Amino acid sequence: MYFCYVDDSGADRGRTLTGLLVPEEGWSDLLHHWLEGRRKLEQTWGVLKNTELHAVDLVKGRGRPCATEEQNNSFGRQARIAAHDLMIRHLARCESVRVLTVAGGTAQIATVYRSFVDHLEAWAFEHDTRVMIMFDGQSGPDEAETMGQEAAQEAWKQAIRGAKPYRDTHRSLPLASRRVLEDPIMQDSRYSQFIQAADLVGYAAFHHLMFARPDVWPKLTPMGHMSKAYRRLARHWLTGHGTDGIVWVDSDTGG
């Protein structure tokens, strides 16, 4: 069985979903390489191990992720790009990890998600395996124990409603043959290292795709550094699905 950690990227009317697929027996190896990268981030630039890595913030210079003000002041654009690249290189050291990105000319993530699940189904059938999806999203209130009962109940309701389009996609799969199991498991990226990893890869994949589809994002300028980082994962791209590990979905047909 495989675990698939999924996050979205893109902008305007072009959205992408990137998944990191890791077999159950390779899960600890992937975590080992990722945490090695986190330790190097802390040793080199002072980026604390438990600080959330969010690609847009990291690369564009937002936030103060380092332990001291001196380190934050030194953590400029080139250092941040190097930090992103370092984490991608550490992910690439895990032999068993696989990468799939599905993108489409739509503003609706749920539309792209349906195609993403279809491709996972086809891949899992071909490899006689099964997949469980962990998706970036709110699973419930963070501080339920400090909230009033009414507020906590409303927060839970909102989290459940927010997951409905993705849950519906899973539940529409044919029961007798489905390979993507269970409902999507929503995980807040602040508390999931691998959702953060999917975010870093997804951001790089998005920039790589922008070079191929400039018509979709005419107002955006892709970053060559991000495309280069994405290409470090070339041997991990899911074969037989799209070009460079990226599937472009026709928004009219959904396939």
Q: Is the pLDDT of residue 152 over 90?
A: no
> Tokens standing for 208?
């790589």
* pLDDT band, residue 250 (cuts 50/70/90): confident
Domain parsing of the chain, residue ranges: 2-25+98-249
> Tokens standing for 128?
């006689």
Single-letter residue type at 237: W
Q: 155 Cβ partners below 8 Å, 6+ apart?
A: 140, 141, 144, 147
At 77 the pLDDT is 95
DSSP category for residue 238 = P
Q: Is the pLDDT of residue 145 over 60?
A: no
Q: Is the pLDDT of residue 159 over 60?
A: no
- C-alpha 62/C-alpha 79 separation (Å) is 13
> Tokens standing for 136?
């970036």
Q: Is the pLDDT of residue 155 over 80?
A: no
Single-letter residue type at 107: A
**pTM of this structure:** 0.91
Task: Please name the fold of domain 2-25+98-249.
Answer: Nucleotidyltransferase; domain 5 (3.30.420)
The percentage of residues in the chain with a pLDDT greater than 70, rounded to a whole number, is 88
What DSSP element (H or E) covers 84?
Answer: helix 77-92
Among 202, 201, 191, 200, smallest CA distance to 52 is for 191
